[in-house]
């Protein structure tokens, strides 16, 4: 490859001159990605304009002042992108928050309202702790040490984004329910916040893949001991993948525990009928009936059809925890 480059460069009459890296500001501007308009990682509205940003190398200060303040990297900077006007607009669009703010504006006495709205009732129960500052609604929260935290009452439209950044963000570490709630409570408040945070953590797919669950701990690993081919095979489904010309979107991977031989079959869907048909016609008819089949808890493997086939062929069926199949590692290699 280098020889081809040299032969191509030989066709030009050129003079090679050396320039310092600090003098290559024009080339540096072409090699760097322009800055985004905001610092929120998940913002879909900020489009990078490749023609309006120039980032050149400049001589830096090698002796910074000792009194210069370093940025706080422990706090996410995404909240700073929501200015007071934007948060005020979202609070006004939230009917419950706008109603409470109107009550606070009219007088200091707690209003008596009979309403089936649970969220509004929960806000009114916090009447003595609610106040407005710069027209924004806040709630006082008394910490254990006696300090007071002013919690911004989050409008409904912001709540999912708050939990997304304080639990799912790269710097959030997917903490558990209690620690995530502490992070949210240190800055925000909304009615039924505890149940919302608990539901968010419970339905987080990344946490479900990596954490065993409350009170379950880590089970000791078990060794699958086999002494002959087809004594035990494992099955897993990959997909959905980009559709092929034959309308296939899934791959069924079948592997033998003893010989480590693996087969991959294309599927249009992963219903129980498709999986069972492909397993019997493509694998069992070619290699024979296995003594045991090991799968995850997918619906196609837990169906009555798949159980009946195993019963008719005399196959023992075992399963592992969801999302924990060893044959899935072969899927990543594929």
Residue 5 backbone dihedrals phi, psi, to 5 degrees: -65, -40
What are the boundaries of each domain within the chain?
83-210, 233-333
**Residue 292 pLDDT exceeds 70:** yes
Residue 226: the pLDDT is: 87
Query: Which position has the token pair 């919302």?
Result: 196
Same fold, 83-210 and 233-333: no
pLDDT: which is higher, 43 or 233: 233
Q: For the ranges 48-57, 67-76, 198-207, which has the lowest average pLDDT?
A: 67-76
pLDDT on residue 279: 93
For residue 52 the two structure tokens come to 């309006």
In this prediction, residues 86-100 reach a mean pLDDT of 88
Superfamily of the domain at 233-333: Ribonuclease H-like superfamily/Ribonuclease H (3.30.420.10)
Of 37-51, 55-69, 193-207, 244-258, the poorest mean pLDDT is in 55-69
pTM: 0.47
Give the whole-angstrom CA distance, residue 33 versus residue 36.
9
Q: Identify the CA nearest to 253 among candidates 240, 242, 263.
A: 263
Q: How much of the chain, in percent, has pLDDT values that exceed 70?
A: 75
Q: In the CATH scheme, what is the code of domain 83-210? A: 1.10.340.70
Q: Which two tokens stand for residue 286?
A: 């070619």
> In whole numbers, what is the pLDDT of the chain averaged over residues?
80
Is the pLDDT at 67 greater than 70? The verdict is no
215 — pLDDT class (breaks 50, 70, 90): low
Structure tokens at 261: 């031989």
Structure tokens at 249: 């979107």
């Amino acid at each position: 490859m280098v020889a081809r480059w040299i032969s191509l460069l030989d066709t030009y009459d050129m003079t090679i001159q050396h320039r310092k890296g600090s003098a290559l500001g024009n080339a540096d501007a072409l090699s760097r990605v322009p800055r985004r308009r905001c610092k929120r990682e998940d913002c879909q509205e900020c489009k990078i304009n490749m023609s309006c940003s120039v980032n050149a190398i400049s001589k830096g200060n090698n002796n910074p002042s000792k009194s210069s303040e370093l940025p706080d990297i422990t706090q996410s900077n995404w909240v700073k992108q929501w200015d007071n006007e934007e948060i005020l607009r979202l609070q006004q669009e939230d009917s419950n928050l706008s109603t409470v703010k109107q009550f606070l504006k009219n007088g200091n006495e707690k209003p008596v309202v009979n309403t089936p709205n649970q969220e509004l009732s929960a806000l009114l129960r916090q009447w003595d702790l609610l106040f407005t500052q710069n027209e924004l609604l806040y709630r006082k929260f008394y910490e254990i040490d006696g300090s007071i935290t002013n919690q911004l009452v989050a409008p409904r439209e912001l709540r999912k984004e708050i939990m997304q950044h304080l639990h799912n963000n790269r710097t959030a570490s997917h903490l558990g329910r209690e620690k995530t709630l502490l992070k949210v409570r240190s800055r925000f408040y909304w009615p039924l916040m505890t149940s919302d945070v608990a539901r968010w953590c419970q339905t987080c797919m990344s946490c479900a893949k990596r954490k065993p669950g409350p009170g379950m701990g880590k089970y000791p690993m078990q060794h699958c001991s086999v002494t002959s081919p087809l004594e035990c095979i494992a099955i897993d489904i990959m997909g959905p993948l980009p559709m092929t010309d034959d309308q296939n979107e899934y791959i069924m991977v079948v592997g033998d525990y003893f010989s480590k031989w693996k087969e991959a079959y294309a599927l249009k869907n992963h219903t129980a009928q498709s999986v069972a048909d492909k397993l019997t016609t493509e694998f069992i008819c070619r290699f024979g009936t296995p003594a045991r089949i090991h799968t995850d808890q997918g619906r196609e493997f837990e169906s009555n059809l798949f159980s009946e086939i195993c019963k008719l062929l005399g196959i023992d069926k075992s399963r592992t925890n969801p999302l924990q199949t060893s044959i899935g590692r072969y899927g990543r290699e594929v």
